[in-house]
A and B are shown apart, each in its own frame.
Chain A
Amino acid sequence: MSKPCPINDHRLPTGGLIDRQRQKSFVFDGRRYCGYEGDTLASALLANGVHLAGRSFKYHRPRGIFSDGPEEPNALVEMRIGARREPNTRATMVELYDGLIANSQNRFPALSFDLQAVNQWLSPGLVAGFYYKTFMWPKKGWMFYEHIIRHAAGLGTATLEPDPDLYEKVHAHCDVLVIGGGPAGIAAALAAGRAGARVMLCDERPDLGGTLRYEEREIDGKPALDWAGGHLAELAGMPDVTVLRRTTAFGTYDGNTVGLVERVSDHLPTPAPFQVRQRMWTVRAKKIVLATGAIERPLVFPNNDKPGVMLASAVRSYIRQYGVKPGERAVLFATNDDAYRTALALNEAGAGVTVVDPRGEHGTAWPERVRDAGIEVLTGHVITSLKGRLRVKEVLAMESDGRGHKGSPRPIAADLVAVSGGWAPTLHLATHAGAKATWDEERGSFVPDMTKCRADMTVVGSANGTNTLSGAIEEGFATGAAAAKAVGKSAPDPISVEVDDPAEAPVRSLWKVEPAQGQPSKSFVDLQNDATAKDIEIANREGYISVEHMKRYTTLGMATDQGKTANVNGLALLAEARGQSIPDVGTTTFRPPYTPVTLGAMVGRHTAKHYKPIRRTPMHDWHTDAGAVFVEAGLWLRPQYYPRPGEDVHAAMRREVKMTRNGVGLCDVSTLGKIDIQGPDAAEFLNRTYSNGFKTLAVGKARYGLMLREDGIVYDDGTTSRLGENHYLMTTTTGHAVEVMGLLEYYAQVLWPELDVQLTSVTDHWAAIAVAGPKSRTVLADAIAGIDFSNQGLPFMGVADGTLDGVPARVFRISFSGDLAYEIQVPADHGHQAWKALMAAGEAHDICPYGMEALNIMRIEKGFVTHAEIDGRTTPGDLGLDKMASRKKSYIGRFLLEREALKDPDRPTLIGLRPVDGKATIRAGSILVRDPVTAGPDDMEGHVTSQCYSPTFGEPIALALLKNGPNRIGETIWATFPLYNVSVQCEITPTVRFDPDGSKVKGETTDA
């Protein structure tokens, strides 16, 4: 560090698991502070005396650091700046690094002086359901209010810049997944690991140990952390054990799958080069051991939200784990013996302590032990209010059982209030899989009921309500051993641990402290969403008595912390209000994720270019070299057009059409789906699959085929050729290639298993080139050996095998352009070579590559349909292909095609259009009406499916579906496009403009 660090006034002189040799400088709200290696942002702030960390969501009340872990409701900060800025980050989970920059949220203009804090003086109106009640009337008012509310609410802002970091996804399998690296989890992993099972152990913290990192406990006569450290070292030496630190298990899914997020680089200023920021693990475990511990429950009492109020266990953790003294004068308000450890920790740290316990003298050694240390214990007392604005200054305690207060409040000066109402086991990951949390009155806690859990999961330790350290370790070890045994390993030798577990009295359930007379105040249940005890009463009074309704009405448990410190108290208060028990009220359902997961981790590498794979044809490099502009067709990249210098898309595609129509052009059609069909029953199979007959197709011939769905609607089309007695090659559209393959497999395997037929997708195995235009025959006769290209030798729809540049080539005389045309297929590896050979052969004839635009123009000129017309609503008849729906055989779609409505002559049917003025563009999607001025929705008679400017005819043309269209040839109709308010008067024409008699495509009239 260049500049010396400011002094940590609130750091203890010794102790903690921090490295005091390694200082870390950081900036919070523009001010520079200093901490140490091993600190969290929260512990470093507390070491500098900063408790005030944020403003609350609704009332903008000042809020302090409340916990030391993932449950933190208050200390949410905006981490980092620029493209890495991330809102709603829990300061308690942020590891301190040198140069860290964080800002508080939800305050304006400053944290200590916030203008919107005035909300709290208006608060009688801001109770439960406030938004519903106030802003829904008048109806239009919401538009106005929403703007202000959206600005006032919201917790932090995300960056608008692209995420500069890398993320990745990993899949893993293991025998035993142990979630949580506290004493129970370590014991479970140890047992399973010693048995030789494949084990994964994850913990969301940077270091394992859980509560052992701050509890002053001894195991086998040694400090508890040494016990943990020894076993962690043993686990690290086991080859089949994976320990993941900084890794949160966020959800349990079907099939014993658990989602983990590993924060690989979040503890660094930026990830190392090529290192990921976060890694998403999908883990399939045979057995899951849930050792997720418990979250301490706060207490609900007046003004319990002031900065300086903190969970009792967190106070202990800050003292022992981070060497921080969170206050000078503390009051511990607790309903259980466990929290008394906090009083001792504070006392050892040199802070003054008073214990306030609503229980009377209860017979355990704890009060005496604490009194022996010189600490005052007020049994049978509660805190009735706190005073202080930005930090607690004074505690008011009264003799009480929580309701009936006696005497007058006793003021106690304090800057820290440690609270504990007992513990809530962290059962989120069990309930994701159907486990229930059931109330155990004796323990004053929810415990897991695994009877309906779909996951093979066992809960151990304090997550299971086991509240002694020895019990947790024994339970963890036994469960790990049983899990290993269940996957076929022999159980390890049992271990025994010697732990001093002093007896503890039962927790006293104290759900709410009533305010003292004449002290109007708020008692908060959900700190992050500002839901109070009164809000729950109101919700109940207004009829929101279901726990799910109460949650939504009060928004309790619906903030980014999902009510980790609020839910149990909220349920208990609802039960009280309803006069029922907690089990009768039930619980809300936990859903993944346990804590927020970044979108980056979910997306992984699948961004930008890696969003989806790219398919390239074998001739792709040639197209690139030729300057082709590409267009995406599904996953494929296809040449859209090949611009020459000075040409735009329109000029290029019109030239390509003219050069092809007047000479010869070639087009890469490798993307068409190709399915090889073989077997004695192949002909019967095709005959049932296509709506037109295929039994009469001769060897060496191709036929256009139409495929319907079972409901009679056209599904796909293509050409199928008979290559041999029992051998066919089907082509499909590019878009449906994958689906048609699956469908044919369904027919062959499920519908007609009696047919002997084999199907193989060969789309990627053959490069395909369309060669079109009057000179195509001349060029091919020149380039391809072994084929008689005369009209008799290779007639229209004929198929023949030859050799192109030494490569075997299959030639199909088929045409999608309407011209004399062929399709050449060569093995994919020879596609580039074949293309070059054809270009060379055609050079003398000015051969021209053409792209998708020219292809589309030429097929519209010829009246051929694509998926613009085969749109999932059209029958063969609608497309003018009625003759292709056989009446002589059974095939897919035949029965329902016969339905009356599909035979209605008034159905929109394919026709051609041209503008009456010969100039106006007919937009695709235009609606066809008789009068565009008076037409209403009921007057629609059809719509335009495809359009282009036809270079061949020198005018715009279109294909359209029009009611009774074929009988209206020569009439006029309007194509109207209301979005742009344009209407074009059109003449209705036949669909086929180019070569209507087929003389070009079928004939010998070439210049050869």
Chain B
Amino acid sequence: MIRLDCPHCGPRDQTEFNYGGDGRIERPGDDASLTAWNDFVYTRDNPRGPHVELWQHTAGCRQWIKVARDTLTHEIIAVGTMGDDIEAKIADPDRGGVEA
């Protein structure tokens, strides 16, 4: 079972969280094209490897968090708050958030 190091609560079991989908998706503005809206609602990448995701700590602090997870190995590469730069955390060789 995956364990996520919630930036607010500390390491917790995955059963405390709800998965919230691709964390790199941006909601388009009101003047965006139909294609942009269609992609936002319906189109998702299905990567084999690192994937930035949203999870909500539903049975904990109720906060939505960003999680970089390897879809192949389930390794949790990095965890951050919504305000954190998760891409920088992934790139950081001394990255945190990985719980042994």
Inter-chain pairs besides A745-B62, A751-B27, 16 sampled, C-beta below 8 Å: A253-B1, A254-B1, A254-B74, A255-B2, A255-B3, A257-B1, A454-B75, A456-B100, A710-B40, A711-B41, A742-B56, A742-B58, A745-B64, A749-B64, A894-B30, A895-B32
CB contact list, B1-38 vs A, under 8 A: 1-3, 18, 20, 27-28, 30, 32, 34, 37-38
Residue A116 lies at the interface, judged by CB distance under 8 Å to chain B: no
Distance of A785 Cα from B74 Cα, bound (Å) = 60
Question: Nearest Cβ distance between residue A765 and chain B, in whole angstroms?
Answer: 16
Distance of A567 Cα from B20 Cα, bound (Å) = 42
Contact indicator B2/A896 (Cβ below 8 Å)? no
* Number of chain A residues close to chain B: CB under 8 A: 25
**6 cross-chain CB contacts under 8 A:** A255-B2, A454-B74, A742-B58, A745-B62, A746-B54, A751-B27
CB contact list, A714-751 vs B, under 8 A: 742, 745-746, 749-751
Which residues of chain A have C-beta atoms less than 8 A from B84's C-beta? none
Contact indicator B73/A746 (Cβ below 8 Å)? no
Task: Name the 5 nearest CB pairs between A and B, nearest first.
Answer: A255-B3, A254-B74, A749-B64, A895-B37, A890-B30
Question: Nearest Cβ distance between residue A761 and chain B, in whole angstroms?
Answer: 9
Q: Mark B51-72, 1 if CB is under 8 A from A, else 0.
A: 0001010100011100000000
- Checking A742, A894, A895 against B18 with a beta-carbon cut-off of 8 angstroms, the contacting residue is A742
Contact indicator B30/A746 (Cβ below 8 Å)? no
Distance of A894 Cα from B31 Cα, bound (Å) = 12
Question: Nearest Cβ distance between residue B83 and chain A, in whole angstroms?
Answer: 8
Given A256-B100, A286-B100, are A749 and B82 neighbors across the interface (CB < 8 Å)? yes
Residue B85 lies at the interface, judged by CB distance under 8 Å to chain A: no
Which residues of chain A have C-beta atoms less than 8 A from B34's C-beta? 895, 899
Given A742-B18, A742-B56, A751-B27, are A255 and B40 neighbors across the interface (CB < 8 Å)? no
Distance of A975 Cα from B36 Cα, bound (Å) = 41
Closest to A282 in B: B1
Residue A434 lies at the interface, judged by CB distance under 8 Å to chain B: yes
Residue A284 lies at the interface, judged by CB distance under 8 Å to chain B: yes
Question: Nearest Cβ distance between residue B4 and chain A, in whole angstroms?
Answer: 9
Interface of A is mostly: mixed
Which residues of chain A have C-beta atoms less than 8 A from B40's C-beta? 710
Contact indicator B1/A750 (Cβ below 8 Å)? no
| B contact set with A: CB distance below 8 Å | 1-3, 18, 20, 27-28, 30, 32, 34, 37-38, 40-41, 54, 56, 58, 62-64, 73-75, 82-83, 99-100
Closest to B36 in A: A895
Contact indicator B3/A750 (Cβ below 8 Å)? no
Which residues of chain B have C-beta atoms less than 8 A from A896's C-beta? 37-38, 41
Residue A753 lies at the interface, judged by CB distance under 8 Å to chain B: yes
Which residues of chain A have C-beta atoms less than 8 A from B28's C-beta? 895
Contact indicator A746/B99 (Cβ below 8 Å)? no
Contact indicator A746/B64 (Cβ below 8 Å)? yes
Which residues of chain B have C-beta atoms less than 8 A from A710's C-beta? 40-41
Question: Nearest Cβ distance between residue A553 and chain B, in whole angstroms?
Answer: 29
Which residues of chain A have C-beta atoms less than 8 A from B3's C-beta? 255, 284
Question: Nearest Cβ distance between residue B1 and chain A, in whole angstroms?
Answer: 5
Closest to B27 in A: A751
Question: Nearest Cβ distance between residue B20 and chain A, in whole angstroms?
Answer: 7
Distance of A286 Cα from B100 Cα, bound (Å) = 6
Closest to A254 in B: B74
Which residues of chain B have C-beta atoms less than 8 A from A753's C-beta? 82-83
Question: Nearest Cβ distance between residue A329 and chain B, in whole angstroms?
Answer: 54
Distance of A750 Cα from B22 Cα, bound (Å) = 12
Given A454-B75, A895-B30, are A749 and B2 neighbors across the interface (CB < 8 Å)? no
Q: Mark A441-476, 1 if CB is under 8 A from B, else 0.
A: 000000000000010100000000000000000000
